[in-house]
Structure 1
Amino acid sequence: MRFTRRGLMAAGAALAAVPAHAQDWAPTRPIRFVVPFPAGGATDVVARVLGDRMSERLGQPVVVENRTGSGGNIGVENVVRSAPDGSAILMGTTGTLTINQHLYASMGFDPAKDLVPVSMAFATDHVLIVNPAVQARTAQEFLALLRAQPGRISYGSAGSGSSTHMVAELFRLAANVEVTHVPYRGSAPALNDTVAGNVQFMLDQLPSAIGQIQGGRVRALATAGPRRSGLLPEVPTMAEIGLPNAEATSWGAVMAPAGTPAPIVARLNAVIREALADPAIQQRLTAAGADALSSTPEELRTKMTQEIATWGRVVREARITVN
């Protein structure tokens, strides 16, 4: 499965790839674009950038609504319960679409069944960072250190069930090491304590950690994306250090209520793919720490299926529960 990374797709090619009937549907009223997290984060910024372009192309306002709570489940359920007529769409994320169903016993909905994929929207890489006092200059040295001191080295996360927790547990399972999890209330305090040395490492999202890496306050040993990051070209990937099963990214995708007619999904997909092919929009997303990433609905469904299985295994094997 291949997704379209920023800079690799022209707008004309994006439109040529969708059916002709994608141009037939036009909304007759404003579209609600639900973001299940607070304003200001990367998920929210991407939705607002996309919403502006969608408004221009569809001839109706696309209004971002931040509906927060329950790990994003409240916002997702709002869209699930909305009419399947193109008047409500969701900016889903790795957590809300593929992880939460393994953590919350009674969500009342199933993202894989109650939502229909439209398109991928963005991705952000995670990066393995250590406090400079850690006696490891390379990822291989760090793995040797973890194996020599089982359970004595700790990592911070944004909280139980967060992406920084899940990706770190995926790394732990892939490396077959024992480490101690220290959950915080958000990524910022976890990163601060990694800098301070109160925890020894973290698998933070790259946009959050890059300033501390460049400032020399933490050391980057590996990235978890499918290829080396342009921001850290000298840092190897998990696959390059011998842990291909630790590959993971955080991502966002546009979804609609199940039952939304195919012409509406096709039209929304065409507009989103055109927008994400625009270098100006790519630059705006980069400034927010996100990598523009589009797909067909079928590619997105395949990715969701794969990651639901992956994160379900991580939750079970690591015995993860929410706070």
Structure 2
Amino acid sequence: MTVSASTAYPVKPIKIVVPFATGGTTDVMARVLSEPLAKELGQPVIVENRTGAAGKIGTEYLARAKNDGYTLGIATVSSTAITPVVYKNVSFDPLKDLTAITRLVSVPNVLVVSPNLQVNNMADFLDVVKKDQGKYFYGHAGNGSEAHMMGELFNLVNKTKLNAVPYQGSAPALQDALGGQVSAVFDNLPSSLPFIKSKQLLALAVAYPERVPTLPDTPTFKELGMEVVNDSSFFGLIGPANMPKEITLKIQETVKKVLAQPAVLEKLKGFSAEPVGNTPEAFAQEIKLEVDKQRKTAKAAKIQFD
């Protein structure tokens, strides 16, 4: 594509592929972005959900798409960094077959526990679960999800033996924590926050660079000596490999502008999401670091799925 053609971009509607179901956090992030992005670019931005196989189906579709900037996708830790590592027969390499455009937002992760455990803090929790290794269970959003890998990393760091229980998303996992069927849940903060605020679940730690404003009394994992568990979630924008640099930069710069709009900021605040809008190079490096981390965790915890 010539520079002049890149400058004219876009001249037709743009599609954003979401590799997860309608209504989930990934889908919501895409839809928060799509309308203001369409206004800035002067073309419709259509969100299309292509779900299944822990984000594999949608991301594989994106990797095969034409790299002209008219088919983009939402990247998450699970779909971009975990699925290629823990699942067999994944046809895309996240470092070679995709173009990193920008990290849209950062979202805190959290460990919540059931009141049935009768613990007040992380030290209490570790005392309880270490006294009866293998007795306690934690829920997560599905095999190979970010929450699953976070739970296994927590086990490795603390030499605990919490048993993983997969659910179809975080909502049913949280319901079982409320009912005491599982003792703990690793999760993105937005879905757990209402239960924390209502004191139905207790947040022991958040994974974020600093304490989050909505939970000022909850320490970070780093404060508790678990820095390796302290990574937040990312939601980013990606495209097929080898997108024209001019188009990639135009999208990134426009997204950064959109992320600064008051209406968008207000919506993101409701999800405890911090806008980023970094450069393609910076986001590509973040994806690489995340892939490396998840590969090490999967190997150490012996996690592999068909």
TM tier, smaller: over 0.9
Match of 2:155 in 1: 172
Please give the per-residue CA displacement for 1:48-106, whole angstroms capped at 9, x wherever unaligned: 22121221121111111111112111111221111111111111111111111112211
Match of 1:245 in 2: 228
Match of 1:101 in 2: 84
RMSD: 1.6
Please give the per-residue CA displacement for 1:120-155, whole angstroms capped at 9, x wherever unaligned: 012221111111121321112212222222111211
Contact 1:116-1:259 within 8 A present in 2 as well: yes
Contact 2:110-2:205 within 8 A present in 1 as well: yes
Q: Distance in 1 between matches of 2:105 and 2:164?
A: 28
Q: Distance in 1 between matches of 2:279 and 2:189?
A: 26
Residue 156 of structure 1 pairs with residue 136 of structure 2: no
Contact 1:276-1:294 within 8 A present in 2 as well: yes
Of 9, 15, 28, which residue of structure 2 is paired with 1:26? 9
Q: Distance in 1 between matches of 2:237 and 2:73?
A: 5
Q: Distance in 1 between matches of 2:158 and 2:281?
A: 32
SS of 2:37's partner is helix
SS of 1:133's partner is helix
Which 5+ residue runs of structure 1 have no aligned equivalent? 1-20
SS of 1:294's partner is coil
- Displaced runs of 4 or more, over 4 A: none
Match of 2:64 in 1: 81
Where do 1:228-307 residues align within 5 Å?
Answer: 228-307=211-290
SS of 1:85's partner is coil
Cα 1:236–1:288 shift into 2, 3 Å:
closer
Which 5+ residue runs of structure 2 have no aligned equivalent? none
Task: Give 1:267 deviation, angstroms.
Answer: 0.2
Please give the per-residue CA displacement for 1:212-246, whole angstroms capped at 9, x wherever unaligned: 11111111111112211111010000011111111
Q: Distance in 2 between matches of 1:58 and 1:90?
A: 17
Contact 2:108-2:272 within 8 A present in 1 as well: no
Contact 1:160-1:320 within 8 A present in 2 as well: no
Task: Give 1:259 deviation, angstroms.
Answer: 1.4
Cα 1:196–1:243 shift into 2, 3 Å:
same
Q: TM-score, normalised by structure 1?
A: 0.89
Contact 1:167-1:248 within 8 A present in 2 as well: no
Contact 1:97-1:112 within 8 A present in 2 as well: no
Where do 1:209-220 residues align within 5 Å?
Answer: 209-220=192-203
For these two proteins, the number of residue pairs brought into alignment is: 302
Q: Distance in 2 between matches of 1:276 and 1:170?
A: 32
Where do 1:138-157 residues align within 5 Å?
Answer: 138-157=121-140
Contact 2:82-2:145 within 8 A present in 1 as well: no
Q: Distance in 2 between matches of 1:230 and 1:313?
A: 32
Match of 1:136 in 2: 119
Q: Distance in 2 between matches of 1:92 and 1:105?
A: 19
Contact 1:42-1:289 within 8 A present in 2 as well: no
Match of 1:13 in 2: none
Q: Distance in 2 between matches of 1:166 and 1:293?
A: 24
Q: TM-score, normalised by structure 2?
A: 0.94
Contact 1:45-1:288 within 8 A present in 2 as well: no
Query: What is the letter of the counterpart of residue 211 of structure 2?
Result: R
Q: Distance in 2 between matches of 1:95 and 1:142?
A: 27
